[in-house]
Structure 1
Amino acid sequence: MDYFRNTFYFAFSAILVLILGVLFSRRRQLSNDDKVKRKKRYHPVAGTMFSQLLNFNTLWDYMTDQCCRYKTYRLLSPFRSEVYTSDPANVEYILKTNFQNYGKGSYNYNNLKDLLGDGIFTVDGDKWRHQRKTSSYEFSTGVLRKFSSVVFQKNAAKLARVVSEDANSKPTVDIFDLFLKATLDSTFQVGFGIQLDSMCGSSDEGTLFANAFDDSSEMTAWRYVDASWTIKRFLNIGSEAKLKKNVKVIDEFVYKLIHTKIDLMSNSPNDASMKKDDILSRFLASNVTDPKYLRDIILNFIIAGRDTTAATLSWFLYMLCKHPHIQVTVAQEVREATRVKDNLSFEEFAALVTEEALEKMQYLHAAITETLRLHPAVPMVIFAAISFIKHNKTCFCSYKFDSSTHLSEFHWSMFDVNHQHRTVQKLLLFLIEFAKTLGIVFLALQDPKICFSDDTLPDGFDVKKGDMVAYVPYAMGRMKFIWGDDAEVYRPERWLNKDGVFQNESPFKFTAFQAGPRICLGKEFAYRQMKIFSAVLLQFFTFKLADETKVVNYRTMINLHIKGGLHLHAFLRTG
């Protein structure tokens, strides 16, 4: 047996050298052929990643300025080029035409994983497909649609009552803070069947969680402009120490929620009262019980359901305060759509905001969409230039043999072995199978799913393998070449046809909800909540800025939050 094993190692090593020689020779030939065919063209360089660091507090406006100079541009970093685009043709190519070549990749995953784990916003491949399929089914059910509408109506009425009380007892109302609490309550009730009631301040744990989540989001966004974050993480200092502390608070809260839910459902498996309509219960009912997996789903659902909606609603009321005539128009439409009578309570009116009534609120829908155009909840979306491949498109680089266990450990290097090397692939597979008959097992330590791949965008410029590629919804909403000379003007009418009916634009032009295979699953869910909340508030209140002279800015983080809150005067509406 030793003779055969030694003979195998000798033969395998010789064949391996031959294979590597063929691969490198072919790779060099292809490289030379490419140079002859076409000289590579890369997007203009607008600066370095340190430019983002210097402009971090106004990052989205800095990127908008660059997009005004170049539809697509590069920033240089120590490790890769970063390509940013506002060109709808490039966006469609990235999100749809060549979708498989642009995933989150390890760069985004490493930046986001401490907060969002293996959630739908961080992963590619099978993990993404599984979560996408499961979530798509849940969001499409009529049960969830009906359940969520009831939750939104109840929380909208509760929000209106809190606004009324604050307006009578405080100089101003921080509507952004209230929206964050209201949408957090809705998200927890629809997502996890938990009545957090943070609007009334009855959950200290919920408040701690929300604050930790916001701070973690900001620290995670900081990683994209701070090249030293991995060192700080290793040393547990600065922003990374703060992130670690906040993630611990988040995890303690979420894992407690999960284990409580699991115990309730496992202790009463046949109790009809335990059969809830919330998303977490539905996952548990389908035998998904891994706490880490559920934790990641929960946090991704929260950042999608709470942060984005609260931010958009706040910017929406800000724009209505800056344009009082639009606020009047929206309020009038709400009254007509609900056929409201006088002297209704908050709860009674909220119950009138049905699906039928919402369908009639075309101008409200347009006004919210116009807000999203100028103030998208997610101001930048990042991908990496990658290519999904099968396991047989790799080859070996090195191995070591453990004589005590007869295990050969191979470290694989990512070579793109194309169809011209099928003989090589078959030979490798034959050698591995033959080795098994000798008691030798190969352990492949690799990620067999991705291989970096060069590409050419529709604008004719090239993207190198491993480049970070991002489109910038915040900038795209302000581009005159997309929206016309009045691109920076808040004008809901641009979304209505001559009959006053809302008309969609291409999702590659209006990118607030992404597009293609990654289009936002909760789009209609988000619109429903925003319209119900807006309708109830505008039925009862007129809003004005507490300080008309104060400039309202954003806080640079994953979502477009208003920095320092949004302080308004709320007056009971008359007539």
Structure 2
Amino acid sequence: MEKVTESLVLTSSIAVAAVLATFVALWSRRWWRRRSYYKYPPTVGSVLGLVLRYHRIYDHLTEISRRHKTFRILMGLNCYEIYTCDPAVVEHILSSKFHIYGKGSYNYDVMEDLFGDGIFTVDAGKWLHQRKLSSRQFSTRFLKDYSSKNFKKNAAKIAEVVSGATTSGEVLDVQDLFMRSTMDSIFEVAFGIELNCVHGSDKEGREFVRAFDESNELIMWRYVNPFWKLERFLNVGSEGKLRKNIYRVDEYVYKIINKKISLGLNKITQGEDILSRFLLERAEDSNELSLKYLRDIMLNFVIAGKDTTAGTLSWFFFMLCMHPSVQKKVDREVEVLVGKADSFEDFAMGITEAALAEMNYLRASLSETLRLYPAVPLDGKMCFEDDRLPDGLDIWKGESISYQPYAMGRMKYIWGEDAEEFRPERWLDEQGVYRQESPYKFTAFQAGPRMCLGKDFAYRQMMIFAAVLVR
């Protein structure tokens, strides 16, 4: 009996070993065949290298991009992230194959706690719904007029602060000043409420701004913190701080929304802000715009119109300081088109749409700033199905690919030998008229179906602020 049992065990073991050997052989054959058929971007480093160079991560990625248009970095066990500066690949993921590239579940997990189901976190149906809603708002004349009036008012306000500091010899943190001013602008356009961050808002407003800014920083930290989910579960560290901040943000935003709803439809109809417009949409179809969904949409508007514009204006004035000849040309153009006035407010209000349309050199200078210092230096998409890129390289379902506006602005094969020089003239034709560049080459506002709806909105705000402050 024992011999029979031993024989059965031995036979079973041999059978299992044979099955395993067959499986390994087939898998190896398939692996080698797959390896020989598919072509992958070169692997140039690991996530550890990114963490160690976090303080200069964009310059580090730029250095690699000079050697490889498209490359990948090892993020974990057999897990890679792809980076590209190739305009053909950018067009492929943002336009030609738009339907198989999106924010994806990973980005949604990272950003959802703060930005919810807003346009910067979602794909497919929710993205399309918000895109249509937002497109209707940005195409209306009322928003253009209302926002322009708002920008001029806040540009005059910030000019008063700078003028006062000049007289007293006070040193200003100009980026902080722009951050406060652009928050005033976007919040009033979005919610119809004047925060007055430039001159010091009330305690509740200050707490909201602090909590919102801090939350945004902590959300970005998640991308390089492998333990953030554990910290969130335990409610400790940066995640514990984030939860408290998001509570403050929600408390303030829901209070504004509920207060506006309580005014009734007659009052809401008279409102010129974006929230009022969305509340009217909600009255027509309450199923699609819950209070939570409204909150998410509005916070995405705020982040889109605050840090991006403030950062660009900060770099713009830095570049003018470094290039006095450019500053003189901008100054001359604004003086010719707008003239002079007795006060900052009068000067700002004198900037007409016709004058803005003719400020070719100012627009070129802002575009050149965005080329070298884009508001979003790196933008990632998730691949939803296996794909082959235009350069013949392969990407697998579930992998992430990021195009690099910061690095692309420094590539000689895209912009020429003077790619790293600040030269606004590259944006002008022979008659000195501003000319557009391909959005797959100049990616500061994305491209394809996800092209930024607020592009003209952002240029108008930056040009008004710049014109007032330069004069």
TM-score w.r.t. the length of structure 2 is 0.90
CA deviation after TM superposition for structure 1 residue 270, in Å: 3.0
Partner of residue 98, structure 1: 97
Partner of residue 224, structure 1: 223
1:86 aligns with 2:85: yes
Deviations 1:320-349 (A, max 9, x none): 1111111111011100111x13x5211111
Deviations 1:292-319 (A, max 9, x none): 1111111100111111111111110011
1:352 aligns with 2:333: no
Distance 1:206 1:486 in 2: 45
- Structure whose residues are more often helix by fraction: 2
Partner of residue 118, structure 1: 117
**1:493-508 equivalences in 2 (<5 Å):** 493-508=425-440
**1:329-368 equivalences in 2 (<5 Å):** 329-338=329-338, 340-341=339-340, 343-368=341-366
Letter in 2 for 1:324: P
Partner of residue 296, structure 1: 296
Partner of 2:81: helix, strand, or coil? strand
The answer (yes or no) to whether the contact 1:167–1:173 under 8 Å persists in 2 is no
Deviations 1:490-519 (A, max 9, x none): 110111111101111100000000000000
CA deviation after TM superposition for structure 1 residue 58, in Å: 1.2
The answer (yes or no) to whether the contact 1:50–1:225 under 8 Å persists in 2 is no
Distance 1:36 1:245, change over 3 A: closer
Q: Structure 1 residues 318-327 or 122-131, which shifts more?
A: 318-327
Q: Structure 1 residues 514-523 or 167-176, which shifts more?
A: 167-176
CA deviation after TM superposition for structure 1 residue 465, in Å: 1.1
Partner of residue 462, structure 1: 394
Partner of residue 183, structure 1: 182
Deviations 1:363-409 (A, max 9, x none): 000000000000000111111001xxxxxxxxxxxxxxxxxxxxxxx
The answer (yes or no) to whether the contact 2:186–2:305 under 8 Å persists in 1 is yes
Partner of 1:51: helix, strand, or coil? helix
Letter in 2 for 1:43: P
The answer (yes or no) to whether the contact 2:269–2:280 under 8 Å persists in 1 is no
Partner of residue 312, structure 1: 312
Distance 2:258 2:168 in 1: 40
**1:187-202 equivalences in 2 (<5 Å):** 187-202=186-201
Count of residue correspondences: 439
**1:546-565 equivalences in 2 (<5 Å):** none
Deviations 1:472-499 (A, max 9, x none): 1111111111111111111101111111
CA deviation after TM superposition for structure 1 residue 68, in Å: 1.4
Equivalent in 450, 457, 460 of residue 518 of structure 1: 450
CA deviation after TM superposition for structure 1 residue 274, in Å: 5.6
1:143 aligns with 2:142: yes
Deviations 1:518-553 (A, max 9, x none): 0000000000000001001111xxxxxxxxxxxxxx
Distance 2:247 2:149 in 1: 33
Deviations 1:423-471 (A, max 9, x none): xxxxxxxxxxxxxxxxxxxxxxxxxxxxxx1111111110011101111
1:481 aligns with 2:417: no
Partner of residue 63, structure 2: 65
Partner of 2:71: helix, strand, or coil? strand
CA deviation after TM superposition for structure 1 residue 32, in Å: 6.3
CA deviation after TM superposition for structure 1 residue 230, in Å: 1.2
Distance 2:381 2:145 in 1: 35
TM-score w.r.t. the length of structure 1 is 0.74
Q: Give the gaps of 5 or more residues in structure 2.
A: 1-25
Partner of residue 245, structure 2: 246
The answer (yes or no) to whether the contact 1:53–1:226 under 8 Å persists in 2 is no
CA deviation after TM superposition for structure 1 residue 238, in Å: 2.0
1:282 aligns with 2:277: yes
**1:40-79 equivalences in 2 (<5 Å):** 40-78=38-76
Letter in 2 for 1:368: L
Distance 1:479 1:163, change over 3 A: same
Equivalent in 265, 270, 282 of residue 266 of structure 2: 270
Distance 1:33 1:200, change over 3 A: closer
Q: Structure 1 residues 99-108 or 45-54, which shifts more?
A: 45-54
Distance 1:56 1:37, change over 3 A: closer
CA deviation after TM superposition for structure 1 residue 207, in Å: 2.4
Q: Give the gaps of 5 or more residues in structure 1.
A: 1-27, 387-452, 540-575
